[in-house]
């Protein structure tokens, strides 16, 4: 440890930060729980400060480890001195400020020492594996070559690990169609094929507890993703495979090669070039009237996507398919098939960055409506990363498709220069891979700190105590903490709480948040959890109503995800699968509805109606148009009396049925929950309601 010294600038920063340490309540509380006399805290903390600054060799093995600590110091909030606690704990043990307790101290140190994460997977590291890196841009055939080797796997079989359910499903179907019995495993779905030798899964679901002959890890550059990078790190280090084929762009190449040297695995690089030419257009589009069949227009918000679709349909008369992240994966796949089918009229695609991976698309030209997207962290609009711009642009001109070459351009002139720069930019290599503790690690960690029972606090403590070197970073855990805080008052065990907090749920949506909490409470009490979700009777006809159905699709996905982990309480798995099929129909039909222009909607409503009448009631009678026009006029009049009378009349009508109704913005979804209402009343209310709301939609 000779030669470990503080650089002058780093020493000044450490000195300033350590001034706060004696006042750090968290450190004092933990060390008192470990057995220190509270009266000795001030003296011990002061002595530690001096020793830490004067004798760094007592705390760091070499200069590189000391500099890594300095980099970690920059990532911690200015006045947070808890980062010194692990060092103080060792100091207190060595200088008899704490009782011996060596076993507890050793366990805590081992659990939070993440400098050599590959050692957590002894069975994989004991093997002599071969890692083949398939490096290349979009549409270079790198994944295809890896899959060809996967098909040749021996008796131990093979596993494909993809970033999206959509990709896992695509590979599952492809391998089975090629005669290889393959099972599908994602967070929300399991299709176990009898006698299957292969598995296609999302990377988080990779089975690292059995041997494989060949493994494929797709989109390896996501090992540096701030939220999900830990899953690629786990797969790379943990898979017990003779051959591991990793596919992706070149950003992760130096990092993966370094990891292979660390683990003693053989390494081979195979580079690929794009198989079809791609050019950045010299001219911007300027107007959607210049959109042509085979074009894909890219925007980065759901609202913009629907607005662009409407503009294109009005200006060109062509129909558009839609793909964006909130859509269920199955719907995205259906929209891709619709766009690729040249026998129909859906020649244009409007999409978000979800088009960047996971879908095979016959795109002639990619048009960026904008190169800016909203950033939740900064709270404003930022330029999309060059790597994302390049990946999306690369979707044009897919090899073997109807378009032998592809082009990319922008709607606006000022965006075109940024697109050109992004396409020519050499990608910056990744310098670190993501890590995050498993459920088992958190349980063991909690045993060493019995005074901390809240999961959010435990995660914070683990992250603070974790020791990382420069090759790794701790993945963002804010979503998990938010979920843990929401579930704080439930009676879940720590293991179940951790699992719930990893569930795919957006807590920003009020309905999803409410349902998530109800599910957790019911499970904690050992009750059977019901899928208490209602779907509209008719497909949505507006983007807003479609959004409501999308939320319910995600809630059904949440139920399925939990049912695979807690089958004893989430018992309605079959019902959830049936409702999933129904909600997919509603979403797909809703996309079709919102795609029609005004004239097409008019034709759609008049088709099949006798004598050219636009409207028809379900009872076969024609509506009284005058009565409904008068009602609309009364509601909009300056005299509030008629409006109030109408509302009172409406309230009485609802009171007669005696229900609580949840009505979507289409007006077609109605839920009747009062058992006192007769079936006839319920049916009548449903018929009248759906008919009236359709009428008002047209009158508007």
pLDDT tens figures, 333-379: 999 999 999 889 899 999 999 988 878 899 999 999 999 998 776 67
Instruction: Report the candidate in 614, 556, 618, 616 with the shortest Cα–Cα distance to residue 585.
Output: 556
**At 417, is the secondary structure helix, strand, or coil?**
helix
Tens digit of each residue's pLDDT (9 = 90 or more) over 97-119? 765 555 566 777 888 899 999 99
Confidence of residue 597 (pLDDT cuts 50, 70, 90): very low
The residues, any chain, with a CB within 8 Å of residue 487's CB and separated by 6 or more, are: 455, 497, 500, 501, 517, 520
- Cα 445–450–452 angle (5° rounding)? 85
State how far the alpha carbon of 380 is from the alpha carbons of 324, 356, 375, 432, 485, in Å. 20, 23, 6, 27, 27
pLDDT of residue 101: 54
Written as six digits, the tokens of 481 are 């903490």
571: left (phi over 0), alpha (psi -120 to 50) or beta: alpha
Confidence of residue 524 (pLDDT cuts 50, 70, 90): very high
- What's the mean pLDDT in 408-434? 93
Closest CA to 215 of 181, 186, 245, 249: 245
Distance between CA 481 and CA 485 in Å, rounded? 6
Instruction: Name which of 216, 274, 249, 218 is nearest 430 in CA terms.
Output: 249
Q: What is the pLDDT of residues 129-168, one digit of tens each?
A: 999 999 998 888 999 999 999 999 999 999 999 999 989 9
Q: Which range in 41-50, 78-87, 474-483 is most confidently predicted, on average pLDDT?
A: 474-483
Q: Is the pLDDT of residue 687 over 80?
A: no
CA dist 88 and 45 (Å) reads 8
pLDDT top residue among 649 and 608: 649
Range with the lowest mean pLDDT among 245-249, 520-524, 540-544?
A: 540-544
Q: Which domains does the chain have, with CATH numbers?
A: 8-100 (no CATH), 122-271 (3.40.50.300), 278-424 (3.40.50.300), 632-699 (no CATH)
Highest mean pLDDT among 28-42, 270-284, 585-599: 270-284
The arithmetic mean of pLDDT across residues 438-450, rounded, is 85
DSSP, collapsed to helix, strand or coil, labels residue 83 as helix
pLDDT in tens, 203-222: 999 999 999 999 999 999 99
In angstroms, the CA 143 to CA 270 distance is: 11
CA distances from 238 to 65, 168, 246, 481, 619 (A): 25, 19, 14, 26, 64
pLDDT at 659: 36
Least confidently predicted of 39-43, 324-328, 353-357, 468-472: 39-43
* Phi-psi label, residue 18: left if phi above 0, alpha if psi -120 to 50, beta otherwise: alpha
- Give phi and psi for 139, each to the nearest 5: 65, 40
The Cα 640–Cα 331 span in angstroms is: 46
More confident residue, 21 or 492: 492
At residue 609, the pLDDT reads 33
Mean local confidence (pLDDT), 43-52: 85
pLDDT of residue 78: 52
Classified as helix, coil or strand, 458 is helix
Q: Has residue 81 got a pLDDT over 70?
A: no
- pLDDT score, position 662: 37
Read off the pLDDT of each residue in 163-174 and give the average, rounded to a whole number: 92
Question: With 0-12 CB in 10 A as exposed, 13-18 as middle and 19+ as buried, what is 670?
Answer: buried
608/615 Cα distance (integer angstroms): 10
Give the per-residue SS3 of 273-331.
CCCCCEEECCCCCCCHHHCCCCEEEECCCHHHHHHHHHHHHHHHCCEEEEECCCCCHHH
Burial 424-447 (b: 16+ CB within 10 A, else e): eeebeebebbbbbbeeebbeebbe
pLDDT band at 658 (very low <50, low <70, confident <90, very high): very low
- Residues 289-336: pLDDT tens digits? 999 999 999 999 999 999 999 999 999 999 999 999 889 998 999 999
Give the HSE-up count for residue 670: Cα atoms under 13 Å, Cβ half-sphere: 19
Are the C-beta atoms of 391 and 402 separated by less than 8 Å?
no
Q: Sorting pLDDT into bands at 50, 70 and 90, what band is 88?
A: confident
If you average pLDDT over residues 606-620, what whole number do you get? 35
The pTM score is 0.71
Asked whether residue 575 carries a pLDDT value surpassing 60, the answer given is: yes
Contacts of 207 (CB under 8 A, 6+ apart): 159, 185, 199, 201
The mean-pLDDT minimum among 8-12, 224-228, 634-638 falls in 634-638
Contact yes or no for 178/121 (Cβ under 8 A):
no
Helix, strand or coil, per DSSP, at residue 225? coil
The pair of structure tokens assigned to 392 is 């999306």
Which pLDDT score, from 0 to 100, does residue 80 have? 59
pLDDT of residue 249: 92
Going by pLDDT thresholds of 50, 70 and 90, the confidence category of residue 474 is very high
- Cα radius of gyration (the chain): 30
Helix, strand, or coil (residue 499): helix
CA distances 453 to 64, 443, 457, 459, Å, are: 35, 11, 8, 11
Average the pLDDT over 416-434 and give the result: 92
Q: How far is 60 from 1, CA to CA, in rounded Å?
A: 7
CA dist., res. 568 & res. 523, Å (int): 9
| Residue indicated by tokens 């979804």 | 669
| Mean pLDDT of all residues in 624-652 | 42
Q: Does position 463 have pLDDT exceeding 70, yes or no?
A: yes
d(CA 668, CA 540): 8
Whether residue 560 contacts residue 580, with contact meaning beta carbons closer than 8 Å, is answered with yes
Average pLDDT over residues 463-471: 88
Structure tokens at 196: 């299957």
Q: Would you say 461 and 86 are in contact if contact means Cβ atoms under 8 Å apart?
A: no
Torsion of CA 428, 283, 373, 383, to 10 degrees: 40
End-to-end CA distance of the chain: 79
Task: Report pLDDT for 87.
Answer: 85
Looking at per-residue pLDDT, the higher value among 575 and 698 belongs to 575
Q: Provide the mean pLDDT of the chain.
A: 82
Q: Both tokens of residue 569?
A: 């309480």
CA angle 114, 119, 125 (to 5 degrees): 150
Task: Please state, in angstroms and rounded to a whole number, the distance separating the CA atoms of residues 505 and 320.
Answer: 29
Token pair for 492 = 């879940």
With tokens 């350590």, the residue in question is 18
CA 668 – CA 663 distance, rounded (Å): 7
Share of the chain above pLDDT 70, in %: 81
pLDDT of 653 over the 60 cut: no
């Amino acid at each position: 440890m000779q030669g470990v010294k503080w650089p002058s600038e780093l020493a000044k920063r450490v000195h300033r930060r350590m001034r706060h340490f004696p006042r750090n309540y968290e450190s004092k509380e933990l060390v008192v729980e470990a057995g220190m006399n509270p009266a000795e805290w001030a003296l011990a903390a002061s002595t530690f400060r001096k020793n830490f600054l004067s004798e760094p060799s007592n705390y760091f093995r070499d200069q590189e480890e000391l500099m890594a600590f300095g980099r970690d110091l920059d990532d911690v909030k200015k006045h947070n001195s808890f980062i010194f606690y692990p060092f103080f704990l060792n100091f207190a043990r060595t200088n008899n400020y704490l009782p011996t307790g060596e076993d507890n101290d050793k366990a805590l140190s081992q659990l939070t020492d993440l400098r050599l994460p590959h050692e957590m997977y002894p069975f994989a590291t004991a093997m002599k594996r071969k890692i083949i890196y398939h490096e290349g841009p979009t549409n270079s055939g790198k994944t295809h070559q890896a899959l060809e080797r996967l098909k040749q796997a021996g008796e131990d079989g093979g596993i494909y690990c993809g970033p999206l359910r959509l990709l896992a499903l695509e590979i599952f179907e492809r391998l089975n169609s090629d005669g290889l019995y393959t099972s599908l495993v994602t967070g929300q779905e399991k299709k176990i094929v009898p006698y299957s030798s292969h598995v296609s899964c999302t990377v988080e679901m990779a089975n690292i507890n059995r041997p494989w002959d060949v493994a494929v890890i797709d989109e390896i550059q996501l090992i540096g993703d701030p939220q999900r990078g830990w899953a690629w790190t786990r797969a790379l280090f943990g898979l017990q495979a003779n051959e591991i084929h990793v596919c992706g762009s070149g950003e992760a190449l130096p990092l993966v090669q370094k990891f292979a040297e660390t683990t003693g695995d053989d390494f081979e690089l195979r580079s690929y070039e794009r198989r079809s030419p791609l050019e950045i257009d010299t001219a911007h589009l300027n107007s959607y009237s210049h959109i042509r069949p085979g074009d894909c227009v890219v925007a980065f918000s759901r609202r913009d996507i629907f607005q662009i679709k409407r503009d294109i349909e009005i200006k060109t008369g062509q129909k558009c398919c839609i793909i964006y992240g909130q859509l269920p994966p199955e719907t995205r796949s259906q929209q891709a098939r619709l766009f690729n089918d040249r026998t129909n009229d859906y020649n244009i695609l409007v999409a978000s960055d979800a088009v960047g991976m996971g879908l095979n698309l016959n795109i002639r030209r990619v048009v960026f409506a904008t190169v800016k997207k909203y950033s939740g962290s900064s709270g404003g609009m930022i330029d999309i990363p060059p790597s994302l711009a390049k990946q999306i642009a690369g979707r044009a001109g897919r090899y073997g498709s109807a378009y032998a070459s592809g082009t990319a351009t922008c709607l606006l002139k000022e965006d075109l220069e940024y697109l050109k720069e992004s396409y020519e930019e050499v990608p910056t290599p990744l310098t670190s891979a993501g890590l995050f503790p498993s459920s088992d690690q958190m349980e063991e960690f909690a045993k060493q700190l019995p005074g901390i029972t809240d999961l959010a606090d435990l995660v914070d403590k683990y992250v603070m105590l974790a020791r990382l070197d420069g090759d790794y970073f701790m993945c963002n855990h804010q979503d998990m903490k938010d979920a843990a805080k929401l579930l704080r008052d439930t009676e879940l065990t720590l293991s179940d709480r951790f699992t719930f907090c990893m569930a795919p749920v957006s807590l920003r949506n009020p309905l999803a948040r409410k349902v998530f909490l109800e599910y957790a409470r019911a499970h904690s009490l050992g009750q059977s959890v019901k899928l208490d979700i209602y779907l509209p009777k008719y497909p949505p006809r507006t983007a807003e109503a479609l959004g409501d159905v999308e939320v319910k699709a995600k809630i059904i996905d949440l139920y399925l995800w939990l049912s695979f982990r807690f089958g004893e309480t989430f018992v309605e798995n079959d019902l959830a699968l049936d409702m999933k099929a129904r909600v997919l129909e509603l979403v797909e039909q809703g996309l079709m509805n919102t795609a029609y222009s005004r004239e097409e909607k008019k034709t759609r409503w008049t088709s099949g109606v006798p004598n050219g009448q636009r409207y028809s009631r379900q009872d076969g009678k024609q509506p009284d148009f005058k009565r409904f026009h008068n009602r609309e006029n009364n509601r909009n009049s300056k005299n509030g009396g008629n409006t109030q009378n109408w509302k009172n009349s409406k309230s009485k009508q609802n009171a007669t049925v005696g229900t609580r109704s949840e009505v979507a913005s289409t007006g077609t979804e109605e839920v009747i929950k009062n058992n006192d209402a007769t079936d006839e009343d319920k049916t009548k209310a449903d018929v009248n309601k759906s008919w009236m709301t359709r009428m008002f939609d047209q009158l508007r």
